[in-house]
Structure 1
Amino acid sequence: MQKLNFPQYQFRFKNTENKIGIFTPLRKKFVILTPEEWVRQHCVHFLMNEKKYPITLLNEEKKVNVNGMSKRYDIVAYKNNGKVKLVVECKAPSVQITQTTFDQIARYNLSLNADFLMLTNGLNHYFCQMNFKEKTYTFLRDLPEYSVL
């Protein structure tokens, strides 16, 4: 797999019927290793190791209802009170981050109401902080570390 713009992490792999699997600590199982999954697992480790997000407050690949349609988010981080702190949308490295991909995560956030958004293709990372009162968002240079506040 392609080298990504994340720190280097140790992953567990498994080969079953000529398909490579990567272990996901959030789902506690091996999933087929695709370019997007490669980015997602790097992002999970980035959130846990670099940004100190507790594994118990992270979730991946779950359904969310967006405008009456069932969609799947990549990663969500919760606050201790159960509200969503962060939504992450992961794309394969070959997928360019465009306004269309940003609009996708923004639509998800209409239902999730996260404080922060992260959009990544593993090579480029974009971070936003939401301001619901002003109905705006601000791009950030980096994602803040997790805190209980």
Structure 2
Amino acid sequence: MNLAYILKDSNYKLSQFNSTEIEQLEQSIILKSTKSGETFYTVCLVRKKDVKLTPEEAIRQLYLRVLTGRFHYPIDRIQVEYGVNFGREVKRADIVVMDKDRLNTVYIIIELKKPKLKDGKDQLRSYCNATGAPIAVWTNGDQISYYQRKDPNYFEDIPGLPNANQTLADILQIKFTLEDLIANDKLVKEKKSLKALIEEME
């Protein structure tokens, strides 16, 4: 089954993912007959059960493959639909990665959103403040942003995610050459317009 077909009427894209990640998910798709007709499902990498493959779920399953395959985070440190408490209200964070040494403490929060970055960033900020998570990621499969939470009102752009064997300090201490800066051009790598970057900095 082709993921482009599942995403065709949505604002989600696949440009942040490599061909292996896309193929792995496509090969896991199953078609089930439901009351509303034929519906696509896949087995969630984390929940280990069949989940309906909506466009947002497809991006989530792909990003789980990014976390485990590229960044080598073990499945037992990852949770989906993680409950974040706001007084009596509980909201669900799309994906969280728990701290290596404190498995009940949130380390990274990932939000997969089709709205504009500003809306997603506000939601990420509230989730990070509620959980104390130091790292946040927003993506819609096309654009992607990485942040470090320095204090409740200040989130700083960071160049990427630490892998499972790195710390946030490792990522922040990486020295960039001119070639590195060109290779990591946000306009290209994160698929952002100059206007979007300026709005984000504001």
* Fold in common (TM above 0.5): yes
Q: Which residue of the partner structure matches residue 115 of structure 1?
A: 134
Q: How does 1:1-149 map to 2 (within 5 A)?
A: 1-2=3-4, 4=14, 5-8=16-19, 9=21, 10-11=24-25, 12-17=28-33, 18-80=38-100, 81-82=102-103, 83-91=105-113, 95-132=114-151, 136-147=154-165
Q: SS at 2:133's partner residue?
A: coil
Q: State the structure with more CA Rg.
A: 2
Gaps of 5+ in 2: 5-12, 168-202
- What's the CA shift string for 1:110-149, capped at 9, x where partnerless? 22111100001011111001223x8522112221212375
Q: Is the 8 A contact 2:146 2:160 kept in 1?
A: yes
Work out the CA distance in 2 between the residues paired with 1:139 and 1:148.
Answer: 18
Size of the aligned set, in residue pairs, is 145
| Larger deviation, residues 96-105 vs 17-26 | 96-105
Q: Is the 8 A contact 1:97 1:121 kept in 2?
A: no
Gaps of 5+ in 1: none
Q: SS at 1:63's partner residue?
A: strand
Work out the CA distance in 1 between the residues paired with 2:107 and 2:48.
Answer: 22
**Paired residue type of 1:118:** V
Work out the CA distance in 1 between the residues paired with 2:54 and 2:44.
Answer: 13
Q: SS at 2:50's partner residue?
A: strand
Work out the CA distance in 2 between the residues paired with 1:68 and 1:26.
Answer: 27
Kindly indicate whether structure 1 or structure 2 has the higher relative contact order, using CA contacts under 8 Å at least 6 residues apart: 1
Higher fraction of helix = 2
Work out the CA distance in 1 between the residues paired with 2:123 and 2:32.
Answer: 33
Q: SS at 1:111's partner residue?
A: helix
Q: Is the 8 A contact 1:66 1:110 kept in 2?
A: no
Higher fraction of strand = 1
- Residue 105 of structure 1 deviates from its aligned partner by 1.2
- Residue 67 of structure 1 deviates from its aligned partner by 4.3
